[in-house]
Amino acid sequence: MAIAISEALQSQLNDVPKLPGVYLFSDHKKKLLYVGKASVLRNRVRSYFQNTPKGPRIQNMVNRIASLQVIVTQTEAEALLLENSLIKNNKPYFNVLLRDDKTYPYIKVTQEPFPRVLFTRRRQKDGAQYFGPFPSARVARQSINLIHKHFKIRNCDLELGTKAYRPCLQYHIKRCDAPCDFRTSESAYQEGVERAALFLDGKTDDLVKEISQDMEAAAKNLAYERAAYFRDLLGMVTAVQRRQTVASLGYDKLDIVVALSQGWKGSILIMAIRNGTIVRTSQFSVDWEEEPQADLANWLTHYYLNHADPPAEVVVEDGTHLDLLSQTPHPRQKHTITVTVPQRGAKKRLIAMAQETLRINLEMQRSEGELHPGVEQLTDLLELSSPCLRMECFDISNTMGQLSVASMVSFLNGKPDKRNYRKFNIKTVTGPDDFASIAEAVGRRYRRLLDEGTQLPDLIVIDGGLGQLHAAHQVLMELGMANHPLISLAKREEWIHQIGTSEPLVVDHHQPALKLMQHIRDEAHRFGITAHRKKRGKTMLDSELDAIPGLGPTRIRKLLLHFGSVKRIRQADPDQLAGVVGKKTAANVISHLRKG
């Protein structure tokens, strides 16, 4: 043996039989580390302690092994079933099989009277429906946006069913039927949710049939607006269906499997084809243990053994080590899966298509990773349906309630977008009233964007606490933007406040999400202070020149354009001043500015 081990473990290794079965590794506290299977237990178990290349995860496990146990079986297929059962029941730390999709995005359809469609990375046993995993957060959020646009699923987080709320912007642009104001029934809303679930599950044939029937029924009842809605929905679904259809292949239940490796890391993509249509692609990240092809075969064997609806055929690039998959009947289906390695033809082209899809997905994930880390973390913390790529933050600056200026800064992908900075001279507020000043600035900003049809920011940020937050929200409600993502950041505690809860969101000071919030808040404060100082300076300047006899607005403007500042006007000689405003007025300027 090349690796030093204890005498007790060496003794156990010497007793391992040359038979098929399952082996279990434990640490010195008797905690189960790993469960594996082998056609020849002795060879497989002893290989862990040979000086051969191993992935970092497996090397770490080997260093912690203190004891082992073996269970002998009649066949390797029997060992596979036992291994699968032990992994599911004990969840050993180093068995990462079927757990590696945990960090991938899912779409969640909530279990409530008027369900919502949410982005999540946490798949829980809470009665909700989960669709995925999706290859990237961008793809998942694009799907959610498509559902909100076409299936009229609400994107608010209100608790519905007990009291009425004012319909938001989504209702007015016909993306929601306003269940918040009881303008649609629970059963009618649920029909839209069921259609969205069919769409997410790739069952577009059933969906097309259902929408066509509803469209014909609406037309017969002379409900032409509703019939037009179903017509547009049908067009969207059939367009997606055409993009997903594998032309004239006619495969009923077929999975295409490809994998790519980068060192000891691997990515697996499974493209599911049902009734001639690509219904979904699922992507998983894995850590290879020793040899990628053998590890892939082991991974796939367990994946399909636990699959709720396994295909009749799996098409792969390399069938090495996959004999066990093709020989073991599925526990629920009572049939084996055919493993095919195509050399040419349509299935070979499908392999190439899946490889290209996986390559593009990985590039997209790398692209997403280039975003400011706070953007994605903040999006997840706030459970937003789309990334908060564009954020706008408001702050108020004044001197004892005078000369109030509201600043608004814009961040794009976590960085200042100075072309879209704005400042607002507060016009309707008297005295030091930050709440009313915030309300005025927010109202002016988004009333204009709505009037112009300009794209709204993904997240609105207010510098302040709950008072400023609710002042901004009141204005947004009046504009039909009650459910638009809105938060505030309190200065002292650095807590994030949200509408609908008095409990703040407390983020660790070292987290990128809070650092991003502090950056945009501090930038809004800096921009606001600068704008306020300029206004205050201009006011003082104007009042000083206004007091000079013979100087009206036109001559003041001429002087400032010519000399650039009051200081230079004060330093100018009489002839220079006379050349701009005449001798008499020049004498008044010199007398007033140089007195004392």
Cα torsion 582, 583, 589, 592: sign: negative
Give me the pLDDT at residue 188, please.
87
Work out the average pLDDT over 569-578.
84
My answer on whether 35 and 77 are in the same domain is yes
The rounded distance, in Å, linking the Cα atoms of 281 and 105 is: 13
Q: Would you give the end-to-end CA distance of the chain in angstroms?
A: 98
Q: What is the pLDDT of residues 428-455, one digit of tens each?
A: 877 777 899 899 999 999 988 887 767 7
H or E stretch at 39: none
Helices (H), 65-185: 76-90, 137-150, 169-172
Q: How far is CA 135 from the centre of its chain?
A: 12
Report DSSP state, residue 100.
G
Q: What is the pLDDT of residues 307-326, one digit of tens each?
A: 777 888 889 988 888 888 87
- Has residue 464 been placed in a domain? yes
Provide the residue count of the chain: 596
CB 153 within 8 A of CB 117: yes
Give me the pLDDT at residue 208, please.
75
- Has residue 125 been placed in a domain? yes
Amino acid letter, residue 415: K
Per-residue confidence at 51, pLDDT binned at 50, 70, 90?
A: confident
Residue 28: pLDDT above 80?
Answer: yes
My answer on whether 86 and 108 are in the same domain is no
H or E stretch at 390: strand 390-399
Least confident of 91-105, 117-131, 168-182, 366-380: 91-105
CB 449 within 8 A of CB 431: no
- Has residue 528 been placed in a domain? no
Residue 353: phi and psi, rounded to 5, are -65, -45
* Structure token digits, residue 593: 């500015």
Give me the pLDDT at residue 247, please.
44
My answer on whether 85 and 117 are in the same domain is no
Per-residue confidence at 243, pLDDT binned at 50, 70, 90?
A: very low
- Give the residue, 534 or 188, on which the prediction is more confident: 188
Residue 65: pLDDT above 50?
Answer: yes
- Has residue 330 been placed in a domain? yes
Which residues are bridge partners to 314 per DSSP? Answer: 255, 339
* Structure token digits, residue 594: 């140089």
My answer on whether 236 and 301 are in the same domain is no
Residue 100: pLDDT above 50?
Answer: no
My answer on whether 109 and 145 are in the same domain is yes
Most confident range, picked from 65-69, 174-178, 229-233, 277-281: 65-69
Give me the pLDDT at residue 102, please.
41
Most confident range, picked from 51-55, 354-358, 460-464, 478-482: 460-464
> pTM for this structure?
0.46
Query: Residue 200 CB: number of other CB atoms within 10 A?
Result: 22
- Has residue 322 been placed in a domain? yes
Q: CA-CA distances (angstroms) from residue 456 to 204, 369, 391, 392, 448?
A: 32, 24, 9, 9, 10
Per-residue confidence at 248, pLDDT binned at 50, 70, 90?
A: very low
My answer on whether 423 and 444 are in the same domain is yes
My answer on whether 232 and 289 are in the same domain is no
The rounded distance, in Å, linking the Cα atoms of 32 and 90 is: 8
Give the total number of structural domains in the chain: 5
- Has residue 536 been placed in a domain? no
Where is the domain boundary, 326, 346, 369? 369
Q: What is the pLDDT of residues 377-424, one digit of tens each?
A: 898 888 887 778 889 999 988 655 466 788 899 998 888 988 889 988
Give me the pLDDT at residue 147, please.
80
CB 21 within 8 A of CB 79: yes
Residue 542: pLDDT above 60?
Answer: no
Where is the domain boundary, 95, 129, 148? 95
Range of the domain at 173: 104-244
CATH code of residue 358: 3.30.420.10
CB 282 within 8 A of CB 270: yes
The rounded distance, in Å, linking the Cα atoms of 337 and 303 is: 12
Candidates 435, 431, 392, 340; CA nearest to 523 is 392
Burial 136-150 (b: 16+ CB within 10 A, else e): bbbbbbebbebbbeb
Report DSSP state, residue 507.
-
CB 258 within 8 A of CB 185: no
Per-residue confidence at 543, pLDDT binned at 50, 70, 90?
A: low
- Has residue 533 been placed in a domain? no
CATH code of residue 399: 3.30.420.340
- Contacts by 574-583 with C-beta closer than 8 Å and gap 24+? 580/555, 581/550, 581/551, 581/555
CB 218 within 8 A of CB 194: no
Give me the pLDDT at residue 535, please.
56
CATH code of residue 583: 1.10.150.20
The rounded distance, in Å, linking the Cα atoms of 88 and 137 is: 28
Residue 249: pLDDT above 60?
Answer: no
My answer on whether 84 and 134 are in the same domain is no
My answer on whether 566 and 435 are in the same domain is no
My answer on whether 280 and 210 are in the same domain is no
Q: What is the pLDDT of residues 354-376, one digit of tens each?
A: 888 788 777 766 655 556 788 88
Least confident of 55-59, 140-144, 275-279: 275-279
Candidates 441, 449, 456; CA nearest to 389 is 456
Where is the domain boundary, 95, 123, 156? 95
| 234 half-sphere exposure, CB direction, 13 A CA radius | 16
Residue 540: pLDDT above 60?
Answer: no
Per-residue confidence at 81, pLDDT binned at 50, 70, 90?
A: confident
My answer on whether 386 and 518 are in the same domain is yes
CB 427 within 8 A of CB 465: no
Mean pLDDT in the chain? Answer: 80
- Has residue 294 been placed in a domain? yes
Q: What is the pLDDT of residues 205-239, one digit of tens each?
A: 677 777 787 788 877 777 777 777 777 767 666 65
Work out the average pLDDT over 96-117.
71
My answer on whether 388 and 456 are in the same domain is yes
Residue 95: pLDDT above 70?
Answer: yes
Residue 242: pLDDT above 50?
Answer: no
Residue 27: pLDDT above 70?
Answer: yes
Give me the pLDDT at residue 245, please.
45
Residue 250: pLDDT above 70?
Answer: no
